[in-house]
Homo-oligomer: A and B are copies of this chain.
Amino acid sequence: MSKVIANMSMSLDGFIADPADGIDRLFGWMGSGDVEVPTAVEWATFRMSPASAEYMRTSMESVGALITGRHLFDITQGWGGTHPLGVPIVVVTHREAPADWPHTETFTFTGGVEEAVEAATKAAGDKDVVVASAKIAQQCLDAGLLDAVHIDLVPVLLGSGVRWFENLGKSPVQFGDPTVIEGNGVTHLAYEVTKRA
């Protein structure tokens, strides 16, 4: 059964980026080990601890589509047309899709989270949909569309930045106890939603 999963690297004080959108301190675990984890693109190969590598490989195999925001799409320039996960991408945006964007087979642009989840679920088949955007994850939570939250918890207090769970409209949201995988510079915590507000 396909699940909709929000996944981010987060600091102990709840930030998923620093005030300048920087993520260096939160993504160090992706290069903190010796085990190579290739991706769908040549420019991104991770080198992780054995535990994180196993976790990442399993996660990558189970993902069938990715939902992201326009902001991330823009700052990564659409990952050059191929996301490291190598799956169809749904970009939530209120603006027009880039006029000259050629990768129309793998990229879909939609205006709302409901449509995005619908499109991504269809594209994912029996695999999972991953939501890689703080804002969209919040909207999915509020809309009752999220099944799980996977936190890559990084042992740092950033003090300021962009919070993952900043503007929840409906709370509390209750989860079960997590599956825990201990990496190097990260603790992977996989929570499933058990009760919505």
Contact status of A175 and B158, CB under 8 A, knowing A12-B191, A180-B180: no
* B contact residues around A59 at 8 Å (CB): none
On whether the beta carbons of A155 and B168 are closer than 8 Å, the reply is no
A13 to B138, CA, bound (A): 12
A141 to B156, CA, bound (A): 12
Tell me, yes or no, whether A104 is within 8 Å of chain B by CB.
Answer: no
Interface centre among A13, A164, A176, A187 (most CB of B within 10 A): A13
On whether the beta carbons of A156 and B175 are closer than 8 Å, the reply is yes
From B12, B171, B191, contact of A149 by CB (8 A): B12
Contact status of A172 and B159, CB under 8 A, knowing A165-B12, A177-B182: yes
A187 to B183, CA, bound (A): 16
Query: What per-residue 1/0 map shows which CB atoms of A134-158 lie under 8 Å from chain B?
Result: 0000000100000001010101111
Tell me, yes or no, whether A174 is within 8 Å of chain B by CB.
Answer: yes
Tell me, yes or no, whether A14 is within 8 Å of chain B by CB.
Answer: yes
Tell me, yes or no, whether A45 is within 8 Å of chain B by CB.
Answer: no
* B contact residues around A80 at 8 Å (CB): none
A156 to B177, CA, bound (A): 10
Interface centre among A25, A149, A165, A172 (most CB of B within 10 A): A172
Contact status of A191 and B159, CB under 8 A, knowing A164-B13, A177-B185: no
Tell me, yes or no, whether A178 is within 8 Å of chain B by CB.
Answer: yes
Tell me, yes or no, whether A62 is within 8 Å of chain B by CB.
Answer: no
Question: What are 20 inter-chain pairs, A to B, with CB distance below 8 A?
Answer: A11-B172, A12-B149, A13-B163, A13-B164, A14-B14, A155-B177, A156-B172, A156-B173, A156-B175, A157-B165, A157-B172, A157-B173, A159-B165, A159-B197, A160-B171, A177-B184, A177-B185, A178-B187, A180-B180, A180-B187
